[in-house]
Amino acid sequence: MVLIAPSMLASDFSRFGEEVRDVARAGADWIHLDVMDGHFVPNITFGPDVIKAMRPHTDKLFDVHLMIEPVEPFIEAFAKAGADIITVQAEATHHLDRCLQLIRSLGKKAGVALNPATHESALAYVLDKVDLILPMTVNPGFGGQAFIADVLPKIYRLRAMIGERPIHLEVDGGVTPETAALCAAAGANVLVAGSAVFKGGKEAYAGNIAAIREAGRSARRGRAAA
Q: Which residues are catalytic?
A: 34, 172
Residue 41's beta-bridge partner residues? Answer: none
135 near 115, Cβ under 8 Å?
A: no
Residue 31's beta-bridge partner residues? Answer: 62
54 near 20, Cβ under 8 Å?
A: yes
79 near 86, Cβ under 8 Å?
A: yes
Dihedral, 173, 126, 45, 31 alpha carbons, nearest 10: 70
Among 148, 91, 133, CA closest to 115: 91
